[in-house]
Chain A
Amino acid sequence: GQNIDQPTEMTATEGAIVQINCTYQTSGFNGLFWYQQHAGEAPTFLSYNVLDGLEEKGRFSSFLSRSKGYSYLLLKELQMKDSASYLCAVRFIKAAGNKLTFGGGTRVLVKP
């Protein structure tokens, strides 16, 4: 199958760092996306990785290792507003069009 695995929930303190891991099946991999979703709201695009390495965007960074089928999203200097679900989504090359397969999401709770 094309399972995308990520932890269900994580808790961290304001100002700290949290790393959210995502693992996926490597066969047919053609890009990985991270989205942020606040409860009841639309997912918003955070980052895209298709080559190995680290992509940094302000307080958020995303890393990809294609050979290991592994990515992580790093949230630095956590703020209360970062409390949300973080969705890992993978595009598989055999999928028609631009179909993404989403993981179940990781709910991050930031405490004061």
Chain B
Amino acid sequence: DSGVTQTPKHLITATGQRVTLRCSPRSGDLSVYWYQQSLDQGLQFLIQYYNGEERAKGNILERFSAQQFPDLHSELNLSSLELGDSALYFCASSARQGIDEQYFGPGTRLTVT
């Protein structure tokens, strides 16, 4: 158990819908990262937050957005969902934003039908 929690574990929704994925980092960690993992794409970095502020952006679509709240939990919002958005979404956390290793949560499996 990494100490990172994610909810829900599974999510099934229809195209065009909007969902919110939630992540709580390990106690004391200030950085949160979101990744998408689909079968043909590997692990793709989406976005990073540090202590409430956006720090780095990867291959995140405009239909996707995220935020980190004062209690350091984070939410990833996915809207106008398409079939291709079906994937595992992982959240990771680290103590700082420098050299620390990232610890991954169990992931949310999103299925868009």
Interface residues of A (CB under 8 A from B): 31, 33, 35, 40-45, 48, 50, 87, 91, 95-105
Chain A residues whose CB sits within 8 angstroms of the CB of B58 once the complex forms: 99
**Using a CB-CB cutoff of 8 Å, which residues 24-73 of chain B contact chain A?**
31, 33, 42-45, 48, 50, 55-56, 58
Assuming A43-B104, A97-B50, A98-B31, is B43 touching A87 (CB within 8 A)?
yes
What number of B residues sit within 8 Å (CB to CB) of A?
29
Say whether chain A's binding surface is mostly helix, strand, loop, or mixed. Answer: loop
Interface residues of B (CB under 8 A from A): 2, 4, 31, 33, 42-45, 48, 50, 55-56, 58, 88, 90, 94, 96-107, 109
Contact B106 A42 (CB under 8 A): yes
Q: How far is the CA of A42 from the CA of B55 in the complex (A)?
A: 23
Assuming A98-B94, A99-B56, is B99 touching A50 (CB within 8 A)?
yes
Q: How far is the CA of A42 from the CA of B105 in the complex (A)?
A: 6
Contact A97 B104 (CB under 8 A): no
